[in-house]
């Protein structure tokens, strides 16, 4: 009975995600929900997506629960993980019904959001300046390329020594990875702008300030928003490393602490929660970017009509 309830819960989650996606597509293409539902359910893309989830969970169950392969003999199966996740009285104290679960989510979300906002506020201007000013590019790029490959974990001891308290240290480590992603994507956006736009602006008497705000910034925006989507995911990626070492709350801390006390199902709960929240936050950035870049889509569609 419990297994059946868990399978129903998984199916409901997948169905909920599918309905959200269908509703979004229906609004985008201005068609009826029922028609879009039929189109989506019969599409090859949706079927492959569903098959991917089914194959992944099936392989997990077969290797851990059915065959009990020696390499996976200490891992919990999907039924065990989901039952713990949805249990009102969890064996290891973490489920959707416990306060501690949401406390860890809150701390991780706060840190990832703070790091992402800092990376956005500092990385976009830095990348624009690198792409716009050749001298600044020559000064800064070697330093960026030297620091960028250093793993987040290597910064943790230094951050703890320099910054007061553990909270700023974790946010700083999380910020670094997102900052470099945002900066380099912004730089790539500036470098992708056709030189003819700069020449045309200068011929029309545009000042350096006019070129920056009327040519560089609009031209780089598509790459900037692509970078922000990657940056949001990178924030969650690097956050776990900092939380495992320098935090008392957060999903990264929860995963490491669960390993230490042999609460293995909670490890999977923390990982799955990170994946869901990371996907949702990146999707939110993508939605905001599409709304702010509506002029770009209209421009491209207009160009397509002219070519036809």
Q: Which domain holds residue 118?
A: 99-304
At 295, the pLDDT band (50, 70, 90 cuts) reads low
Give the end of a domain, one of 43, 75, 107.
75
Give the end of a domain, one of 19, 40, 75.
75
Q: What is the pLDDT of residue 24?
A: 54
pTM of the model: 0.79
In tens, the pLDDT along 112-133 reads: 999 999 999 999 999 999 988 8
Lowest mean pLDDT segment, chosen from 36-40, 95-99, 186-190: 36-40
In tens, the pLDDT along 12-36 reads: 555 555 555 545 554 544 445 456 5
Q: What are the Cα distances from residue 180, in Å, to 170, 223, 233, 240? A: 17, 14, 13, 18
How many domains, the chain? 2
Same domain, 29 and 69: yes
Give the end of a domain, one of 25, 59, 75.
75
Residue for token digits 């994507």? 185
Same domain, 111 and 144: yes
Same domain, 61 and 117: no
Q: What is the pLDDT of residue 181?
A: 93
Same domain, 234 and 290: yes
Judge whether 81 lies within some domain: no
What SS3 string covers 111-165?
HHHHHHHHHHHHHHHHHHHHHHCHHHHHHHHHHHHHHCCCCHHHHHHHHHHHCCC
Section 259-272 average pLDDT:
93
Judge whether 11 lies within some domain: yes
How is 157-190 classified by DSSP, letter by letter? HHHHHHSSSHHHHHHHHHHHHHHHHHHHHHHHHH
Neighbours of 38 (CB within 10 A): 12
Same domain, 53 and 170: no
Spell out the residues 6+ positions from residue 244 whose beta carbon is closer than 8 angstroms to its own.
252, 253, 255, 256
CB burial string 141-161: b at 16+ within 10 A, e below? eeebeeeeeeebeebbeebbe
Same domain, 150 and 289: yes
How is 86-109 classified by DSSP, letter by letter? T-SS-TTS-STT-HHHHHHHHHHH
Same domain, 188 and 252: yes
Judge whether 255 lies within some domain: yes
Q: What is the pLDDT of residue 115?
A: 94
Judge whether 87 lies within some domain: no
Same domain, 251 and 122: yes
Q: What is the pLDDT of residue 271?
A: 94
CA dihedral 102, 104, 105, 111 (to 10 degrees): 140
Secondary element (H or E) of residue 222: helix 217-246
Q: Which residue has the higher pLDDT, 221 or 32?
A: 221
Judge whether 264 lies within some domain: yes
Judge whether 94 lies within some domain: no
CB-based contact 84:37 (threshold 8 Å): no
Judge whether 113 lies within some domain: yes
CB burial string 266-293: b at 16+ within 10 A, e below? bbbbbeebbeebbeebbeebeeebeeeb
Q: What is the pLDDT of residue 69?
A: 84
Return the closest-CA partner of residue 101 out of 251, 263, 272: 251
In tens, the pLDDT along 131-143 reads: 888 899 999 999 9
Residue 288 belongs to domain with CATH number: 1.10.3720.10
pLDDT reading at 40 higher than 70: no
Same domain, 103 and 177: yes
Same domain, 41 and 185: no
Judge whether 86 lies within some domain: no
Same domain, 112 and 31: no
Mean residue pLDDT of the chain comes to: 82
Same domain, 61 and 104: no
């Amino acid at each position: 009975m419990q297994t059946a309830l868990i399978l129903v819960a998984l199916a409901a989650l997948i169905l909920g995600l599918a309905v959200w996606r269908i509703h979004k597509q229906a609004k985008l293409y201005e068609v009826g929900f029922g028609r879009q539902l039929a189109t989506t359910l019969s599409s090859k893309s949706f079927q492959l997506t569903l098959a991917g989830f089914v194959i992944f969970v099936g392989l997990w169950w077969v290797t851990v629960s059915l065959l009990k392969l020696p390499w996976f003999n200490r891992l919990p199966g999907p039924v065990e993980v989901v039952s713990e996740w949805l249990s009102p009285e969890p064996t290891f104290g973490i489920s959707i019904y416990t306060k501690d679960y949401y406390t860890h989510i809150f701390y991780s979300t706060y840190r990832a959001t703070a790091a992402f906002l800092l990376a956005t506020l500092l990385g976009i201007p830095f990348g624009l300046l690198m792409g716009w000013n050749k001298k600044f590019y020559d000064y800064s790029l070697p330093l960026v390329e030297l620091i960028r490959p250093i793993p987040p974990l290597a910064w943790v001891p230094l951050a703890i020594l320099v910054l007061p308290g553990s909270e700023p240290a974790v946010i700083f480590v999380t910020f670094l990875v997102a900052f470099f992603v945002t900066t380099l994507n912004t730089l790539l956006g500036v470098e992708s702008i056709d030189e003819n736009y700069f020449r045309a602006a200068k011929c029309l008497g545009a000042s350096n300030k006019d070129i920056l705000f009327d040519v560089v910034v609009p031209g780089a925006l598509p790459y900037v928003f692509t970078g922000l989507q990657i940056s949001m995911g990178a924030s969650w990626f690097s956050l776990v490393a900092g939380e495992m070492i320098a935090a008392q709350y957060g999903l990264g801390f929860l995963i490491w602490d669960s390993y230490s006390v042999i609460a293995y199902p909670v490890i999977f709960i923390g990982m799955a929660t990170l994946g869901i929240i990371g996907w949702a936050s990146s999707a939110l950035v993508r939605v905001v970017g599409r709304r702010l870049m509506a002029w770009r889509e209209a421009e491209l569609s207009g160009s397509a009509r002219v070519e036809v």
